[in-house]
Structure 1
């Protein structure tokens, strides 16, 4: 049985840990509100931009000729994996990394064996995991979540887009956590390049002739790159909100577990203390009886 000093030391240590997890939960909750507002505002904009691109592309030959739509045999793959810079968030990072590895083992197994897969890591945890596994990892964009904004994500998107147009990559996929609610994050895999034509909604009418102002070429040349950049920015915002939700849930659970452990330790402490008191009483009684016998 542990001594009273050891039990007291463990209780003090767990109390300190519980205070830290409570504080981290409160910080995550505050940051989650801002991150949730950001993705809630971005979703309608991204959806409308995608619909606009589909509408314009439906009757535009220029869109079909866009370098971002050119499908070719897949020899070289860029996988953009969005994780976080920090841990203490449950299985948030692990799930994204596992999904990316599963994608490489299934869809891009031949390219992975040939060493033709490059990982663009948005988030330090993903970069560290794939470096340990021996993949070629682009770490230039790992520090975007400290001050997440469109400008920082745009640089990563432009690098992927330039790589596709130049032929360095034949396909670009994004793996990220989609934010559903505080307790639920859903792993998503989206193809960024080449652009896949959106399916026409049920009951949609045939293509309509539009009058373009400014020119059709100018609209499409601006709209397609912007849509691709927004797609990656939206994935980063989804992942950022998901991270704080996962961290808040993990810290809440850690605080509860610390409370349960404290209850057990306090019970052990009381039992140990009672045993020590009983032992001292028995020793005193035994000494008194020995003196009386003399």
Structure 2
């Protein structure tokens, strides 16, 4: 067994670990509350944008929709052409299986669908995802890959706007034919699910299911095309922003739970070390008492 000094040093280091994990837990709680409030507002805005799309597709004629081949599809299609996957991960670790579950999903996706590595490109929002993807997969625009997640929401919003413009431009140029989003969705405080969602082209059926019919007679000005061209960037930008915030909520929740478990484990280790320290101390005291008694007995025998 270790000597008391070594045990005491280990107890001191465990106490510093407990302080660190408790501090990280509290930081995650504060960030989680802030992100949840932002997510509520963005969700409300996103719902209204999607309702506008639903109404637009219901009042628009089928022939006019078919002319828009850039952003719309009428039926579920499996296009075996260039795909772009936007992956939402974190910058830092210590958040349990938040990042690893996404990486497992990506590997499983390639094995299941037999995707060609040349036909799939990845764009990572988060440093952990970029570090994983660059070693295995084809990265979309390595020079301008946005990998830094900053706590300032205004900067994040501006970055997503820039990313939206870039995606629309490359999509029109047919650098890729479909865009998918891979992110963690928080089902409850103990369970997260990795979601793969198609962003572009837009499936009209998904919007038509939300509203089977509309009795509103819209007056669209200046024209349907201009309104549609205005709604597309708004829809993509809002969708990316909403999913980014959902991913952030999942990350902070995962880190909060991980730090809580780490604190509990550290407390258990500390209690065991204190118990060992007391046992060692008692052993040393008992040994010293026995030495004193045996010394006194030997002196008495000599007398």
TM-score strictly above 0.5: yes
Deviation at 1:123, TM superposition (A): 0.2
Work out which of the residue numbers 259, 275, 285 in structure 1 matches 2:293: 285
Structure 2 counterparts to residues 226-241 of structure 1, below 5 A: 226-241=234-249
Do the aligned residues in 1 keep the contact of 2:164 with 2:233 (CA within 8 Å)?
no
Give structure 1 stretches of 5+ with no counterpart.
none
Using the alignment, how far apart are the partners of 1:110 and 1:284 within structure 2?
Answer: 79
- Choose from 128, 131, 134 the match for 2:134: 131
Question: Are 2:182 and 1:175 aligned?
Answer: yes
Q: What's the offset of the Cα at 1:82?
A: 0.2
User: Once the two structures are superposed, what CA deviation does each residue of 1:62-88 show, in whole Å capped at 9, x if it has no partner?
Assistant: 444331126784221211000011111
- 1:85 maps to what in 2? 91
Q: Give the secondary structure class of the aligned counterpart of 1:111.
A: coil
The reply to whether residue 276 of structure 1 matches residue 284 of structure 2 is yes
Quote the residue 1:205 is aligned against. 213
The one-character-per-residue Cα deviations of 1:227-282 (angstroms, maximum 9, x if unpaired) are 11211111111111111111111111111111111111111110111111111111
Residues 127, 245 of structure 1: alpha-carbon distance in 2 compared, 3 angstrom cutoff: same
Residues 130-279 of structure 1: pairs in structure 2 closer than 5 A: 130-136=133-139, 138=141, 140-148=145-153, 149-199=156-206, 200-201=208-209, 204-205=212-213, 210-279=218-287
**Cα distance between partner residues in 1 of 2:115 and 2:107:** 13
Question: SS of the residue aligned with 2:247?
Answer: helix
What residue in structure 2 maps to residue 97 of structure 1?
Answer: 103
How many aligned residue pairs are there? 291
Partner of 1:10: 10
Give, in whole Å, the separation in 2 of the partners of 1:202 and 1:221: 21
In the alignment, the residues of structure 1 paired with residue 47 and residue 210 of structure 2 have an alpha-carbon distance, to the nearest angstrom, of 17
Task: Quote the Cα distance in structure 1 between the aligned partners of 2:234 and 2:192.
Answer: 26
CA RMSD of aligned residues (A): 2.2
Asked if 2 retains the 8 angstrom alpha-carbon contact of 1:85 and 1:145, the reply is no
SS for the counterpart of 1:32 is helix
Work out whether residues 99 and 129 of structure 2, in 8 Å CA contact, stay in contact via their aligned partners in 1: yes
Contact 1:144 1:152 in 2 (8 A): no
Judge which range, 6-15 or 144-153, deviates more.
144-153
Please give the TM-score of this superposition, normalised by the length of structure 2: 0.88
CA distance change for structure 1 residues 133 and 289 in 2, over 3 Å: closer, same or farther?
Answer: farther
SS in 2 for 1:201: helix
Alignment correspondent of 1:37: 37
Cα shift at 1:203: 8.3
2:33, 2:83 → 1: CA distance?
35
Report 1:23-34 matches (<5 A). 23-34=23-34
